[in-house]
Amino acid sequence: MGLDITWKDASPGYEEQRVGRIFNKHRPDRFPAGILKASSIEDVVAGVALAKQKGLKLTVRSGGHSWPAWSLRDGALLIDLENLRELSLDDMTNIVTVSPSSTGRMINVDYLRERGRCFPGGHCPSVAVGGFLLQGGQGWNCRGWKWACEYIESMDVVVARHGQVEVVTASETVNSDLFWAARGAGLGFFGVVVRFRLKTIPLPKIMAKSILIFDASEYQETFEWFQQACLSFDFDVELVYLGLSRFRCLPESKGKPEDPLLVISATVWKEDQAEAEKALAVLQQCPKLEKALLNVPYAPTSFAEEYDLQERDNPPECRFFCNNAWIRGTPKEVADSLRRGFVELPTKDSYTLYYSQGPLRKLPDMAFDIQTEHYFATYLMSTDTTGGEDQLCRDWLAETFAAIDSKRGGPGGSPGQYLGDSDLKTRPAKFMSDEHWTKWKRIREKWDPERLFFGYGVHEKGEENRHLWELESRAKL
């Protein structure tokens, strides 16, 4: 059987193959030379060899959920892994073997649930583990259960070097430099991962949540308190502070649908209900409790229910504009810096999020190494399919992040970003320390000496791991 490749300008159905699996309806004008639908590891090996032979660069797509659609690069051979399928659990080791296009829902709900295990995949059910794990993976309860890439036991990767294409295994002990790079390099990874072996954890008996909703006028006090309170929750609790419109979270309440409201959400995993109730009770100490528009102290939930809600809140028919920043500072400095991000949303569908990583844990030695206690991310959404709200969203992002970046990494500013919610093209910012950047380049030289993979070269300034303000001051010299 020949390879299933759709070539640009030569095959019918090219446009559907190019963007049909891209989640974000705000799609870039970038056109791969061809799209290979791989159904086996042999197809991937043959595809990499073909790219070498034709002098094409390579890109990979597992689930198509990269917000800026980095699987699409001009002139590349795109290897799409949708049809490469594998999912099995080893009952002795509790290691689950998955293909990169497996999604959180497939792994947790359709497969592991009945086996009494789970894995901290992405919050949206349709996020595939391929791109998610390579960038770090801020999955369920990342604060307590660690970054999802810390669950990779080993992986199989198709690499091209020394004139040969081969499948190698990478783990802490085998090809450990490749393994180091895979845990955080994201779109800059220089191989095709075709299989992950992942640790799983026992599925807790209880999953429950608590929610408080406030008017935007309560921002400063509730947000400063929440940042402090996060430090006293135990590590089985995921903690989020959201800015979203009344239309999205309390549609029945009085007021304009576009009014921004503030949602404090805590989700807990425990072995019994009494422990879960106790863990969530911290929210009831909020000094502004009597001002809450809604107070749900305890509500049972499940992965299946939460995936459904995430799917509803991130509708696939929308145009998305995303960005993010790790923030440093005292609760007041953080709240002052992010005020606009929570109380002035550009469209009624948009939402913004603060995710507590505090108290911060030490990371293992891997490419991913920039984080703070405070994660801020923006998910601007437009249902206007003509693009009529695009500029509004772009301007809002530019102004909001320019204010953060004006602090140049100082108090209330950002020392870096998370690749998962980034758009390096519109806002360059560091995603690794300088030391890790140097190490990543050295490892790439070994594993991809011919630079078959695209890497981070996404804007006119070339391949950079720098903040915008550093690039701008260098340009002035």
Q: Under rule CB under 6 A, which residues in 22-51 are in contact with ligand FAD?
A: 23
Q: Which stretch binds ligand FAD (CB under 6 A): 126-134, 391-399, 408-416, 463-471?
A: 126-134
Q: Report if residue 59 touches ligand FAD, rule: CB under 6 A.
A: yes
Binding test (CB under 6 A) with ligand FAD, winner from 127, 149, 327, 338: 127
Nearer to ligand FAD by Cβ, of 140 and 219: the residue is: 140
Q: What angle do CA 97, 101, 102 make, to 5 degrees?
A: 50
CA end-to-end distance (rounded Å), the chain = 57
Binding test (CB under 6 A) with ligand FAD, winner from 45, 77, 152, 193: 193
Binding test (CB under 6 A) with ligand FAD, winner from 414, 420, 427, 465: 420
CA distance 449 to 307: 41
* Binding map of ligand FAD across residues 130-159, x = CB under 6 A, - = no contact: xxx-xx-xxx--------------------
String of DSSP letters for 79-97: EE-TT---EEEETTTTEEE
Shortest distance, CB of residue 189 to ligand FAD, whole angstroms? 5
Q: Which stretch binds ligand FAD (CB under 6 A): 10-18, 125-133, 166-174, 368-376?
A: 125-133
Q: Report if residue 124 touches ligand FAD, rule: CB under 6 A.
A: yes
Q: Report if residue 71 touches ligand FAD, rule: CB under 6 A.
A: yes
CA distance 429 to 321: 16
String of DSSP letters for 348-395: TT-EEEEEE-PSPPPPPSSS-----SEEEEEEEEE--TTSTTHHHHHH
Q: Under rule CB under 6 A, which residues in 242-301 are in contact with ligand FAD?
A: none
Shortest distance, CB of residue 193 to ligand FAD, whole angstroms? 4
Binding test (CB under 6 A) with ligand FAD, winner from 32, 34, 100, 413: 100
Q: Name the nearest CA neighbour of 129 among 52, 196, 58, 221.
A: 196
Binding test (CB under 6 A) with ligand FAD, winner from 32, 64, 144, 409: 64
Q: Report if residue 346 touches ligand FAD, rule: CB under 6 A.
A: no
Nearer to ligand FAD by Cβ, of 63 and 260: the residue is: 63
**For 406-467, where are the alpha helices, taking DSSP H only?**
434-447
Shortest distance, CB of residue 19 to ligand FAD, whole angstroms? 11
Shortest distance, CB of residue 268 to ligand FAD, whole angstroms? 18
Who contacts 93 (Cβ-Cβ below 8 Å, separation ≥6)? Answer: none
Burial track 330-361 (b if 16+ CB lie within 10 A, e otherwise): ebebbbebbbebbbebbbbbbbbbbbbbbeee
How many residues bind ligand FAD (CB under 6 A)? The answer is 33
Shortest distance, CB of residue 45 to ligand FAD, whole angstroms? 13
Helix, strand, coil % over all residues of the chain, rounded to 5: 35, 25, 40
Q: Name the nearest CA neighbour of 185 among 390, 420, 13, 386.
A: 420
Shortest distance, CB of residue 75 to ligand FAD, whole angstroms? 15
Shortest distance, CB of residue 362 to ligand FAD, whole angstroms? 20
CA distance 19 to 25: 9
CA distance 223 to 267: 17
Q: Report if residue 314 touches ligand FAD, rule: CB under 6 A.
A: yes
The CA distances from residue 68 to 64, 106, 460, in Å, are: 10, 24, 16
Binding test (CB under 6 A) with ligand FAD, winner from 109, 187, 249, 367: 187
Q: Which stretch binds ligand FAD (CB under 6 A): 9-17, 186-194, 261-269, 440-448?
A: 186-194
CA distance 477 to 410: 23
Shortest distance, CB of residue 447 to ligand FAD, whole angstroms? 12
Strand order in the sheet with 374-382: 294-300, 206-215, 260-270, 237-245, 351-356, 374-382, 319-327
CA distance 88 to 405: 45
Binding test (CB under 6 A) with ligand FAD, winner from 48, 70, 260, 263: 70
Q: Report if residue 210 touches ligand FAD, rule: CB under 6 A.
A: no
Dihedral-angle region of residue 409 (phi above 0 means left; psi in -120 to 50 means alpha; beta otherwise):
left
- To 10 degrees, the CA torsion angle through 111, 135, 64, 86? -30
Q: Report if residue 62 touches ligand FAD, rule: CB under 6 A.
A: yes
Q: Which stretch binds ligand FAD (CB under 6 A): 48-56, 61-69, 112-120, 353-361?
A: 61-69
Q: How many CB atoms lie within 10 A of CB 302?
A: 15
- In three-state secondary structure terms, 431 is coil
Nearer to ligand FAD by Cβ, of 70 and 145: the residue is: 70
Q: Which two tokens stand for residue 448?
A: 């991809």
Q: Report if residue 357 touches ligand FAD, rule: CB under 6 A.
A: no
Shortest distance, CB of residue 124 to ligand FAD, whole angstroms? 3
State the residues that interact with ligand FAD by CB under 6 A. 23, 59-67, 70-71, 81, 100, 122-124, 127-128, 130-132, 134-135, 137-139, 187, 189, 192-193, 314, 420
